[in-house]
Chains A and B, each alone.
Chain A
Amino acid sequence: MLLRCGLRGQPEILGAGMNPELEQQLQGELERARKGDRGALARLISVLERGGYGAACVERGLSARAADSYTVGITGAPGAGKSTLVNALLGEMVADAQRVALLAVDPSSPLSRGALLGDRVRMHSHAASPAVFIRSMASRGQLGGLAVATRSARRLLEACGWPLIMIETVGVGQVELDVASTTDTVVVVLNPGWGDEVQANKAGLMEVADIFVINKADKAGLEATRRDLEGALASLPQQRRPAIVETVATEGRGAVDLWAAICAHRQAIEESGELRERRLGQLRAELRGFVEAHLEVALDELFATDCADLQLAAIGRGAVDMPAAGDVLLAELWSLVNSPKRR
């Protein structure tokens, strides 16, 4: 029994065989997408984004992880120049005879749930290229820098034979952790003059970054930022120390070096066997995320029931204490998750 957050928050029950017609239609789409139909691929990503039964149908048709495809994450604060850098990097990748898909995630507005997705504006060089697939995704309320469907969209792209996938996400500090648990090589983009940020987020940054980019190297403060960064990394053993690459994305400067650093990192973790471990970790995080998402929906639902209100009132009167009320609700949650027909 699967349960998934629908777009407007209604939980839905996602049993196999509930709507054979739709299932068949989606399988057909998947077939077309696998054969290279970009329209079908694009529509399927929308299905994944909408969640619910349709998404579950598509996900069932995807294997867990294609071994021969590779994912690079690009993260950093808004305005760091990630999209501009991706544009330059795409050039290097395509020149290397690669086909590349990009998922560009930007936050949804918490108020209106709408979003302005402007990453493509920076990517004109590849706007109509058959070798590049770009998809803008709104986070749709998901915290952690990824959109609700980023991980499943990645798996879909892999299934459709895109050998190289980039994920651009907005991140500062903690938030980068999500991209780390989803991608094989994580590139963290900083700017000159960010010594303080480097200090403040030292632990988090070092945990996630495989490569640091100091973009906007044309701006003042480059040297200081580089020094701060090197200082922060000095404690790491030589072979685990992330590369630092300087770029001026608007001029395409440094893109070659960044691409080389990505390739080198890939090679290193493939040879050392770390890639296999990472992917196990990713799988674990993905599965956990899946379960968490469903629990969250059930929780929301639980707190909309009388049961929660009753416990709240009881606590208010002093009739029960917090742990006791919590136990009652946890038991209720359990039966809610297990109930076959909840609506």
Chain B
Amino acid sequence: MDANKNKDRLWKSASGLPLQKFYSESDVPQEQRKRMAADPGVAPFHRGAHPGGYRTKAWRIFQLSGFGKPEDENERIRFLLEQGETGFIMEHDRNTGDHCYNVDHPDVVARREDVGLTGAVMQSVRDIDICMKDLPLETSFGHAGGAVVQHAPFALAGYWTVAKHRGIDLARLPGTGQSDFFLTYLGCVTKQQVPTAAGLRFNADIMEFCDKHLPRWVPVSIAGYNGADTGLNAYQELGALFANAVEYLEEIKRRKTMPLENAARACSGVNFRASMDLFEEASKMRAARLMWVQLLERRYGITNPKVANLRIHCVTAGSRMTYQQPLNNIVRGTVMALAAALGGVQSLGVSGYDEALSIPSEHAHQMSVRIQQILQEETNIQAVTDPLGGSWYVESLTAELVERAWGFFEEIQDQGGFLATLDSGWLHERAAENQSEDFRQQESGEQVIIGVTDHKDDISPFEVDGFMGVDDAYDVALERLQEVRRTRYEAGAGKALSELEAVCRNGNNIMPAMMDALQSEVTLGEIGDVYRSVFGDWATPIQT
């Protein structure tokens, strides 16, 4: 490679911020310099959510995990907990879950081999019960699944119903779902989905329900990750995430059904992506905490530090995992995890090194956990909170990201708000623009990806074969579906289903009816059919 090429290079951050040769005190904006006086754990929190940082509580190792039959997934979760994971994510099969289809839906039948690849098939509370067997529900932080908006009420009600059967008081149950707009309407646009307005209603319903019955549960988790991995850059991810939060808060404000402060707290567990630009990504986490404080104070007058203290779950960029020379991805995962840790996140998932090749294999899963354990135990990174604080570079990056992010936030408001940018495809265009620019830069050589654009000579003796799938997931799911239909109390299921439909139509909170439906063993596909008849299909702006 050209040894001189660095000399005439135009140095920029991944989001395009111009970078100086070095930074001095005078480069840090006045306002930011004032903020630097605040300690971690006090507003405006950019220096960290907690004064003790990781001394008080190590970040949670939180990995996606799921495939096959519910019992396969249960086994994998228990394996990961044994490996040192401190929370677990119950993944539902996405073919059935995201679309609210049972396995006998023609669109699933046509792809029956895909069933169980991305998570366990769970079509009724019986399946969810199998998947949750012997899991420490009260002592570890569970993610009930339901990342996609129309699936979330089912997944949550299923998890809660099983917990109730086990005699757990819902008021004491910790955990989260996700119900993420970025995933549902931007990153991973499903073939069929309730419109955004119905999605907003579902999420507000979940927030209300948790406010009443599950105070320890994080009802929704806005995942800028899914925007970023679709192409939004760092400050766009920030701006869009808070624009999303505003939609939720405005809806609750309009309903007047719960204190706005509680709603803000419900929104304060978010999900960001950590990608390869180490300092920009670390700065982004700091910027996020600062922006949340600003948003709540300026727009809603909320200053309660318990609410204004943003908690961040971070996942390393799956899209940066390369197909070529996959073991390089272990290094990438480490760097991205480091960025997240330096940014002071509360919880972290590292994408599998075989992500570009397949669903993560057991070994890739283990490596994702090991990367984090090595960082936590061998690097001393947990000793000092906000280790980058006071760096002129990082402080000015933080300030600049905040400024640009608010600019992007305003652009979204000018478009009519976050939901409007999803409906119109405006946000998709922003992501696609960046994506095309990335491709262009990779062609021109401005952007180097080792093993992909450069150093393609692979002498690595390792062959990663990826996850091969589970043979019997589809057949077992079909049998179990038929068994539920055969053995459930049909009149009760029918009644619960029509009650659910009535509630969908009359606008009341759907969660109580959803709990009844799960309790009465109504199946996922039947619920989806109700949605489809009541809400129709989202008018997706995507053409592929």
* A interface, CB within 8 angstroms of B: 81, 84, 116, 118, 121, 124, 216, 248, 250-253
On whether the beta carbons of A252 and B536 are closer than 8 Å, the reply is yes
Known: A124-B191, A250-B195. A84 touches B539 (CB 8 A): yes
Complex interface: chain B residues within 8 A of A121 (CB): 543-544
On whether the beta carbons of A248 and B536 are closer than 8 Å, the reply is yes
The listed residue with most A CB atoms (<10 A of its CB), out of B535, B536, B544, is B536
On whether the beta carbons of A250 and B543 are closer than 8 Å, the reply is no
Complex interface: chain B residues within 8 A of A250 (CB): 195, 536-539
Complex interface: chain A residues within 8 A of B191 (CB): 124
Chain A residue at minimum C-beta to C-beta distance from B107: A124
On whether the beta carbons of A116 and B536 are closer than 8 Å, the reply is no
Q: Report B240-280 residues with CB < 8 Å from chain A CB.
A: none
On whether the beta carbons of B543 and A251 are closer than 8 Å, the reply is no
Complex interface: chain A residues within 8 A of B535 (CB): 251
Chain B residue at minimum C-beta to C-beta distance from A120: B543
Q: Report B338-390 residues with CB < 8 Å from chain A CB.
A: none
Tell me whether chain B's interface is mostly helix, strand or loop, or mixed.
loop
On whether the beta carbons of B536 and A118 are closer than 8 Å, the reply is no
Chain A residue at minimum C-beta to C-beta distance from B191: A124
Q: Report B510-544 residues with CB < 8 Å from chain A CB.
A: 535-539, 543-544
On whether the beta carbons of B538 and A116 are closer than 8 Å, the reply is no
Chain B residue at minimum C-beta to C-beta distance from A124: B191
Taken together as a complex, chains A and B put the C-alpha atoms of A186 and B191 apart, in Å, by: 31
Complex interface: chain A residues within 8 A of B195 (CB): 250
Query: Which 6 pairs across A and B sit closest by C-beta, in order of nearness?
Result: A251-B536, A118-B543, A250-B539, A121-B543, A250-B537, A250-B536
Known: A124-B191, A250-B195. A116 touches B539 (CB 8 A): no
Chain B residue at minimum C-beta to C-beta distance from A121: B543
What is the distance, in angstroms, from A126's C-beta to the closest C-beta of chain B? 14
Chain B residue at minimum C-beta to C-beta distance from A249: B539
20 cross-chain CB contacts under 8 A: A81-B539, A84-B539, A116-B543, A118-B543, A118-B544, A121-B543, A121-B544, A124-B191, A216-B539, A248-B536, A250-B195, A250-B536, A250-B537, A250-B538, A250-B539, A251-B535, A251-B536, A251-B537, A252-B536, A253-B536
Complex interface: chain B residues within 8 A of A81 (CB): 539
Complex interface: chain A residues within 8 A of B544 (CB): 118, 121
Taken together as a complex, chains A and B put the C-alpha atoms of A81 and B543 apart, in Å, by: 13
Complex interface: chain B residues within 8 A of A124 (CB): 191
Chain B residue at minimum C-beta to C-beta distance from A116: B543
What is the distance, in angstroms, from B71's C-beta to the closest C-beta of chain A? 34
What is the distance, in angstroms, from B416's C-beta to the closest C-beta of chain A? 10
What is the distance, in angstroms, from A121's C-beta to the closest C-beta of chain B? 5
Taken together as a complex, chains A and B put the C-alpha atoms of A250 and B198 apart, in Å, by: 14
* B interface, CB within 8 angstroms of A: 191, 195, 535-539, 543-544
The listed residue with most B CB atoms (<10 A of its CB), out of A81, A121, A250, A252, is A250
Chain B residue at minimum C-beta to C-beta distance from A81: B539
Chain A residue at minimum C-beta to C-beta distance from B532: A251
Taken together as a complex, chains A and B put the C-alpha atoms of A251 and B537 apart, in Å, by: 6
* Extra 18 A-B pairs, beta carbons < 8 Å, given A250-B538, A252-B536: A81-B539, A84-B539, A116-B543, A118-B543, A118-B544, A121-B543, A121-B544, A124-B191, A216-B539, A248-B536, A250-B195, A250-B536, A250-B537, A250-B539, A251-B535, A251-B536, A251-B537, A253-B536
Complex interface: chain A residues within 8 A of B536 (CB): 248, 250-253
Complex interface: chain B residues within 8 A of A251 (CB): 535-537
What is the distance, in angstroms, from B420's C-beta to the closest C-beta of chain A? 11
Taken together as a complex, chains A and B put the C-alpha atoms of A248 and B535 apart, in Å, by: 11
What is the distance, in angstroms, from A44's C-beta to the closest C-beta of chain B? 27
Taken together as a complex, chains A and B put the C-alpha atoms of A266 and B535 apart, in Å, by: 33
What is the distance, in angstroms, from A94's C-beta to the closest C-beta of chain B? 17
What is the distance, in angstroms, from B110's C-beta to the closest C-beta of chain A? 10
Chain A residue at minimum C-beta to C-beta distance from B425: A79
The listed residue with most A CB atoms (<10 A of its CB), out of B195, B538, B539, is B539
Taken together as a complex, chains A and B put the C-alpha atoms of A250 and B536 apart, in Å, by: 7
What is the distance, in angstroms, from A170's C-beta to the closest C-beta of chain B? 14
Chain B residue at minimum C-beta to C-beta distance from A253: B536
What is the distance, in angstroms, from A214's C-beta to the closest C-beta of chain B? 15
What is the distance, in angstroms, from B421's C-beta to the closest C-beta of chain A? 15
Taken together as a complex, chains A and B put the C-alpha atoms of A22 and B434 apart, in Å, by: 49
Complex interface: chain A residues within 8 A of B543 (CB): 116, 118, 121
Taken together as a complex, chains A and B put the C-alpha atoms of A253 and B543 apart, in Å, by: 22
What is the distance, in angstroms, from B516's C-beta to the closest C-beta of chain A? 26
Taken together as a complex, chains A and B put the C-alpha atoms of A276 and B466 apart, in Å, by: 66
Complex interface: chain B residues within 8 A of A252 (CB): 536
What is the distance, in angstroms, from A107's C-beta to the closest C-beta of chain B? 14
Taken together as a complex, chains A and B put the C-alpha atoms of A118 and B536 apart, in Å, by: 21
Taken together as a complex, chains A and B put the C-alpha atoms of A116 and B542 apart, in Å, by: 12
Chain A residue at minimum C-beta to C-beta distance from B197: A218
Taken together as a complex, chains A and B put the C-alpha atoms of A250 and B196 apart, in Å, by: 13
What is the distance, in angstroms, from B528's C-beta to the closest C-beta of chain A? 15
Complex interface: chain A residues within 8 A of B539 (CB): 81, 84, 216, 250
The listed residue with most B CB atoms (<10 A of its CB), out of A81, A248, A251, is A251
Chain A residue at minimum C-beta to C-beta distance from B543: A118
What is the distance, in angstroms, from B538's C-beta to the closest C-beta of chain A? 7
What is the distance, in angstroms, from A88's C-beta to the closest C-beta of chain B? 10
Complex interface: chain B residues within 8 A of A84 (CB): 539
What is the distance, in angstroms, from A21's C-beta to the closest C-beta of chain B? 41
Taken together as a complex, chains A and B put the C-alpha atoms of A307 and B191 apart, in Å, by: 59
Complex interface: chain B residues within 8 A of A118 (CB): 543-544
What is the distance, in angstroms, from A105's C-beta to the closest C-beta of chain B? 16
Chain B residue at minimum C-beta to C-beta distance from A119: B543
Taken together as a complex, chains A and B put the C-alpha atoms of A84 and B544 apart, in Å, by: 14
Taken together as a complex, chains A and B put the C-alpha atoms of A295 and B5 apart, in Å, by: 57
Taken together as a complex, chains A and B put the C-alpha atoms of A342 and B514 apart, in Å, by: 76
Taken together as a complex, chains A and B put the C-alpha atoms of A116 and B544 apart, in Å, by: 10
Chain A residue at minimum C-beta to C-beta distance from B536: A251
Chain A residue at minimum C-beta to C-beta distance from B534: A251
What is the distance, in angstroms, from A291's C-beta to the closest C-beta of chain B? 37
Taken together as a complex, chains A and B put the C-alpha atoms of A250 and B195 apart, in Å, by: 9
Taken together as a complex, chains A and B put the C-alpha atoms of A84 and B538 apart, in Å, by: 11
Chain A residue at minimum C-beta to C-beta distance from B542: A121
Chain A residue at minimum C-beta to C-beta distance from B533: A251
Taken together as a complex, chains A and B put the C-alpha atoms of A84 and B537 apart, in Å, by: 11
What is the distance, in angstroms, from B465's C-beta to the closest C-beta of chain A? 34
Chain A residue at minimum C-beta to C-beta distance from B541: A79
What is the distance, in angstroms, from A101's C-beta to the closest C-beta of chain B? 22
Taken together as a complex, chains A and B put the C-alpha atoms of A118 and B539 apart, in Å, by: 14
What is the distance, in angstroms, from B99's C-beta to the closest C-beta of chain A? 13
Complex interface: chain B residues within 8 A of A253 (CB): 536
Taken together as a complex, chains A and B put the C-alpha atoms of A70 and B537 apart, in Å, by: 31
Complex interface: chain A residues within 8 A of B537 (CB): 250-251
Chain B residue at minimum C-beta to C-beta distance from A248: B536
What is the distance, in angstroms, from A203's C-beta to the closest C-beta of chain B? 30
What is the distance, in angstroms, from A194's C-beta to the closest C-beta of chain B? 15
Complex interface: chain A residues within 8 A of B538 (CB): 250
Taken together as a complex, chains A and B put the C-alpha atoms of A251 and B544 apart, in Å, by: 20
Complex interface: chain B residues within 8 A of A216 (CB): 539
Chain A residue at minimum C-beta to C-beta distance from B424: A79
Complex interface: chain B residues within 8 A of A116 (CB): 543
Chain A residue at minimum C-beta to C-beta distance from B423: A219
Chain B residue at minimum C-beta to C-beta distance from A83: B543
Taken together as a complex, chains A and B put the C-alpha atoms of A216 and B535 apart, in Å, by: 14
Taken together as a complex, chains A and B put the C-alpha atoms of A124 and B191 apart, in Å, by: 10
What is the distance, in angstroms, from B537's C-beta to the closest C-beta of chain A? 5
Taken together as a complex, chains A and B put the C-alpha atoms of A116 and B195 apart, in Å, by: 25
Chain A residue at minimum C-beta to C-beta distance from B539: A250
Taken together as a complex, chains A and B put the C-alpha atoms of A251 and B197 apart, in Å, by: 14
What is the distance, in angstroms, from A317's C-beta to the closest C-beta of chain B? 48
What is the distance, in angstroms, from B543's C-beta to the closest C-beta of chain A? 4
What is the distance, in angstroms, from B197's C-beta to the closest C-beta of chain A? 9
Chain A residue at minimum C-beta to C-beta distance from B537: A250
What is the distance, in angstroms, from B433's C-beta to the closest C-beta of chain A? 16
Taken together as a complex, chains A and B put the C-alpha atoms of A104 and B543 apart, in Å, by: 15
Taken together as a complex, chains A and B put the C-alpha atoms of A250 and B543 apart, in Å, by: 15
What is the distance, in angstroms, from A104's C-beta to the closest C-beta of chain B? 13
Taken together as a complex, chains A and B put the C-alpha atoms of A253 and B539 apart, in Å, by: 13
